[in-house]
């Protein structure tokens, strides 16, 4: 059983929320794989992580590179085992994975201002619940992430 957290973005865009969440993963000694459904988005997230200020250093690479095993964070579009041994999977832009059970923790981030994204997140929630995963729901509030439900 994998622990899956659904992260409802309501106050900041993904490019601002993602670095903070990845910083927490790294601070815990973990490795992460960020899976997007769009190659253009991966390129934009790659650039955003290099210029992030909170935290100010997020070493990462694009999946499929020569040095994947050395990267604490990998970004990609292929739902394949990451070459860095990541135990954390971050799903963005509606990406889905058939490998949820291979991770210790999954963070599914979705844009609360996009009705289609919210509906798709609800469908992913239902599918993950039916598969027996442990689910939590987080929403951005005044003081940061607030656990709901």
How high does pLDDT run on average in the chain?
96
- Give percent of the chain with pLDDT exceeding 90: 95
Q: Map out the domains of the chain with their CATH numbers.
A: 3-148 (3.40.50.10110)
CA 106 from centre of chain: 7
In this prediction, residue 149 carries a pLDDT of 75
Structure tokens at 76: 């990609």
The reported pLDDT for the residue numbered 71 is 97
Q: What would the two tokens of residue 31 be?
A: 């490795």
Closest CA to 111 of 96, 94, 95: 94
Q: What is the pLDDT of residues 37-58, one digit of tens each?
A: 999 999 999 999 999 998 989 9
Instruction: Summarize pLDDT for 93-126 with one digit per residue, the tens.
Output: 999 999 999 999 999 999 999 999 999 999 999 9
Beta carbons within 8 Å of 7's beta carbon, 6+ residues apart: 17, 21, 107, 108, 109, 110, 138, 145
Question: Residue 1: which pLDDT band, with cuts at 50, 70 and 90?
Answer: confident
């Amino acid at each position: 059983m994998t622990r899956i957290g659904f992260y409802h973005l309501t106050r900041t865009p993904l490019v601002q929320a993602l670095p903070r969440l990845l910083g927490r993963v790294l601070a815990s000694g973990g490795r992460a794989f960020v899976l997007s459904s769009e190659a253009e988005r991966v390129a934009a997230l790659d650039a955003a992580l290099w210029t992030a200020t909170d935290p100010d250093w997020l070493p990462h690479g694009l999946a499929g590179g020569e040095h994947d095993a050395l990267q604490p964070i990998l970004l990609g579009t292929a739902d394949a085992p990451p070459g860095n041994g990541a135990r954390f999977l971050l799903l963005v832009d509606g990406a889905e994975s058939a490998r949820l059970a291979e991770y210790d923790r999954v963070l599914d981030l979705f844009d609360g201002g996009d009705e289609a994204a919210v509906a798709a997140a609800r469908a992913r929630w239902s599918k993950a619940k039916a598969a027996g995963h442990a689910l939590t729901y987080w929403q951005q509030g005044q003081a940061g992430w607030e656990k709901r439900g």
